[in-house]
Structure 1
Amino acid sequence: MLDQLGIERFAEKHLMPDRVEITRDGGEQVLDPETGRLEPAPRRDVYEGPAGFYPRQERIRSRSGRTGAWVDEVRPAYRLLLPLRAGEVWESDSVLVTQARDEQAVGRTYSVAALGEVSSLPIVRTVWLEEHNRAVAS
């Protein structure tokens, strides 16, 4: 018999060496009673904990300009692995890398490109990301 919990623990220990914070825009604006102005709702914390980043390149073929010539474009994308307890991550949520084996990843932010994948045999949460910034640490 397959020990699903054991596989989950193995995946978290060996495939998720980094740490992330995932936040979500607060949604509709809220009234600030002191100023009487509508302000953006505060961001909501969605998840904080272990994760694993895995790069992937997307090849896109599209027409460009007036000539309509086909252009091949390669875009970097990332697959984010999260433990099942992370819960649901929504499209457009923000991901901040707070700790990573690769020091250059710390401080980078990503945007969730699509709802997380689901499976009949869930072991990890898989979420697709687009790079949001590439700010260089000083």
Structure 2
Amino acid sequence: MLNAHGIARFAEQHMMPDKVRVTRAGGEEVLNPATGELVPAAPLVVYTGKAGLYPQQEKIRSRGRDGAWAEEIRAGYRLLLPVEVAELEDHDEVLVEEARDAQAVGRTYEVTTLGEVSSFPVLRTVWLEQRDRSAS
């Protein structure tokens, strides 16, 4: 019989070598007492910890204005997280804080769809699009 806990531990050790921070936009605006103005609320940190970032290209076919079909390759990313991580939401922001690939550090991504679910959950898979890359 498969042991989900053992498989999850293996996945975390071998497929999640990086560290990310996931934030969610704050709710309503808050009052800045110094200026008296309403400002966006501070982002809420949803998760900080192990993760694995993997590229995933998708081929998209769409019909142009002239009626001809066009194919486009769009770069996307899969983020693997431990199974116990709370569900991420659309538009949550993922910042790569540490990574085996030094070029990944400082990049930010946006969650584009709800995470995948499974009858035998051993890790969480979330789909991302790259947003920004901070100057190193």
Partners of 1:28 and 1:111 in 2: CA distance: 20
Gaps of 5+ in 2: none
The Cα shift of 1:134 comes to 4.2
Write out per-residue CA displacement over residues 39-96 of structure 1, whole angstroms, 9 at most, x where no aligned residue.
10110000011100111111111123x4232211100001100001221111100000
The Cα shift of 1:102 comes to 0.9
Write out per-residue CA displacement over residues 7-30 of structure 1, whole angstroms, 9 at most, x where no aligned residue.
110000000011100000002212
Q: Equivalences for 1:1-138 in 2 at 5 Å? A: 1-64=1-64, 66-135=65-134, 137-138=135-136
Number of residue pairs matched?
136
SS in structure 2 at match of 1:104: helix
Write out per-residue CA displacement over residues 98-135 of structure 1, whole angstroms, 9 at most, x where no aligned residue.
11111111111000000111111110011000111245
Give the TM-score taking structure 2 as reference length.
0.92
User: Structure 1 stretches (4+) deviating beyond 3 angstroms?
Assistant: none
AA at the equivalent of 1:132 = R
Partners of 1:37 and 1:84 in 2: CA distance: 41
Percentage of pairs with the same residue: 61
Partners of 1:44 and 1:23 in 2: CA distance: 5
Partners of 1:28 and 1:68 in 2: CA distance: 44
SS in structure 1 at match of 2:5: helix
Partners of 2:91 and 2:84 in 1: CA distance: 20
Aligned-residue Cα RMSD (Å) equals: 1.4
Gaps of 5+ in 1: none
Partners of 1:100 and 1:33 in 2: CA distance: 39
SS in structure 1 at match of 2:132: coil
